[in-house]
Amino acid sequence: MEHLELFFKSIFIDNMVFATFLGMCSYLAVSKKVTTAVGLGAAVIFVLAVTVPLNWLLDHYILQPDALVWLDGNSETPKLSAYYGYDLSFLSFILFIATIATMVQLVEIIVEKFSPSLYNSLGIFLPLIAVNCAILGGSLFMQSREIETLGLALNYGVSSGIGWFLAIVAIAAIREKIRYSNVPAPLRGLGITFIITGLMAIGFMSFGGMLTTDGNKEEAAVEVTETKTEVLQEGKTESTQIVEVSKITKE
């Protein structure tokens, strides 16, 4: 359930384009044709799916405070480790970007080898994935949201990439059709594209009601009535009094 919730939330609710407006430069520049948008979107999915889990491993085993205690086998007793107290979190940006640049270079080699036409149509924007803020944002969001497991990190990388893919393919399809529409001259080009993007972002905001519960069971209040018998003695006369006490307990 946790994987499914993260998957749909990353695609629709926390969409990279429509929720945080990351990766807008390539989103606007490569969305003139659906074919090039599909190619770049697929490349972004691959890079996010690989870099987010890799950066999760870097974050948990190198960058976090006291993360290096595993080097001398003191993971269970970190205070006994020679590396206790080490904090390399200041290297996060450098290592994250190095990982991303390596994967982007791999993607560039593969695309150039197997699809030269797509490589030529993407042009400079394929290597620019290395500095695409959506790619780096995926790793930084993974770190700030404290995703707990490697599987969830992989899920988040893939779903975030799918969300960006859907956004760029949708706007590319609209821009192909809008060429035949009578758009006012001042709004032609990026003007109408920004307006459509804003409207699509408003539409994606409606998905925010999909996952509103936190998964915790509501505590039910139960009234418990306890009967106490008190014996009162007054002189030689004894009387019995029954007292009912009500308590509210939570289950």
**Residues 6 or more apart in contact with residue 42 via CB below 8 angstroms:** 165
Residue 209 and residue 136: Cα distance in Å, rounded?
A: 27
Q: What is the pTM of this model?
A: 0.77
The residues spanned by each domain of the chain are 2-209, 221-250
194-234 residue pLDDT tens: 999 999 999 888 887 766 544 444 444 444 444 444 444 55
Q: 245 vs 148, which has greater pLDDT?
A: 148
Query: Which of 63-72, 125-134, 239-248 is most confident?
Result: 63-72
Residue 251 and residue 232: Cα distance in Å, rounded?
A: 36
* Cβ 163 vs Cβ 15: under 8 Å: yes
Residue 175 and residue 146: Cα distance in Å, rounded?
A: 37
128-174 residue pLDDT tens: 787 788 899 999 999 998 898 999 999 999 999 999 999 999 999 99
What one-character DSSP code corresponds to residue 75? S
Mean pLDDT confidence for 60-72: 89
Residue 46, CA distances (Å) to 43, 65, 100, 203 in order: 5, 30, 11, 26
- Number of Cβ within 10 Å of residue 9's Cβ equals 18
37-51 residue pLDDT tens: 998 899 899 999 999
Q: What's the confidence (pLDDT) of residue 238?
A: 53
Would you state the structure tokens that stand for residue 114, as one six-digit string? Answer: 């197997």
* Cβ 40 vs Cβ 126: under 8 Å: yes
Q: What percent of the chain shows pLDDT beyond 90? A: 35
